[in-house]
Chains A and B, each alone.
Chain A
């Protein structure tokens, strides 16, 4: 306990010396006056939008995975994505199935899916797909829940040598 208090005092001394460092440091510290207010205010301003059931990203939705499969065209290939069980809920194990028509990936390269939220970095959430029939692939994954309340998610399907496409959809929390 005493040791920690000692180091605490030492760190105060360090910052005190740092404070005496010159005008640049003083100017820097003056910038800090509004900094905390900006952080807290920005959080408050953003919060009502996050809390509201809807969000601006809902306009980007191009797929209703709750109802069934979604299909998109990509460079001579048709990609169909199905997610089960339906309706698609967060925080549960999901089966992602991708079916291709037209141009297929070369050399037995496997397609994969990256799950994320438009406009928000949720960390890498990769679903590796395995062959499940002719031009069909499947893999298991989980869509995590965002405490902000936003429910718009995207599945970026990458077909090696063909390209990638985004399925943007609503998820139930």
Chain B
């Protein structure tokens, strides 16, 4: 039986290795798209807020599976939500690409002329313009729900650990802590990718933005297809 401290370190190190071995390939396009969308702005605070949101969601999921004592029951209940989040992510990345290149006026996309105060229009507008750095926190909270194999595996372990602890309260805390440690471990890899993709010094190179925009639109399309097949 491993000590609690050892299990936390195990989750942290697992997150770290998974980050470099898995997340860069699967979720790298998301953080790269955010970096491209930020253009000449610093990515530091937005990325940290995004990852904080992701970690909070992982921790909540960890607490839920520990309380439920079953990974499969929770997973079955959130499957449709995850599918929706995956579609949302794909659409968001595509729109970021379109907006970045200036090819599609967002007002036309969401019908701002007829419904200037519409929830969808306002919501997407805030996301895409990203004037408020804080918008990356709810984005992280939402995208923390994206279906992901290693997150499932970590939740499986969190559910088991939660069940092995005598009281439900301590089990929930353990589940939350383990998933937070796992999420924290994945941050360095994704942050490094986002930092390397930061194009703040390229503001005069319009062609790079055009190429980036095309790639973002294609990546978003792939996300939507994957979501439909999920």
Contact = CB atoms under 8 A, between A and B. Distances in A.
Contacts of A91: 72, 75-76, 152
Given A5-B133, A47-B222, A121-B17, A39 B149 contact: no
B42 A33 contact: no
A92 B79 CA distance: 13
Interface stretch (B22-30, B52-60, B119-127): B22-30
B25 A43 contact: yes
Chain B interface residue number, banded: 35 or more
Where chain B touches its partner, the secondary structure class is helix
A26 to B, nearest CB: 9
B161 to A, nearest CB: 12
B41 interface: yes
Interface stretch (B106-114, B165-173, B207-215): B207-215
A1 B134 contact: yes
B230 A39 contact: no
B45 A8 contact: yes
Interface of B: 14, 17-18, 21-22, 24-26, 28-29, 32-33, 35-36, 41-42, 44-45, 70-72, 75-76, 86, 132-134, 146-150, 152-154, 156-157, 193, 196-202, 208, 211-212, 215-216, 218-219, 222, 225-226, 229-230
Interface of A: 1, 4-5, 7-8, 11-12, 15, 19, 29, 32-33, 35-37, 39-44, 46-47, 50-51, 91-93, 117, 120-125, 142, 144-149
27 contacts: A4-B45, A8-B133, A29-B201, A36-B197, A37-B211, A37-B215, A39-B29, A39-B32, A40-B215, A40-B216, A40-B218, A43-B29, A43-B219, A44-B222, A46-B25, A51-B222, A91-B75, A120-B149, A121-B17, A121-B150, A122-B149, A123-B150, A124-B157, A125-B153, A144-B149, A146-B149, A147-B226
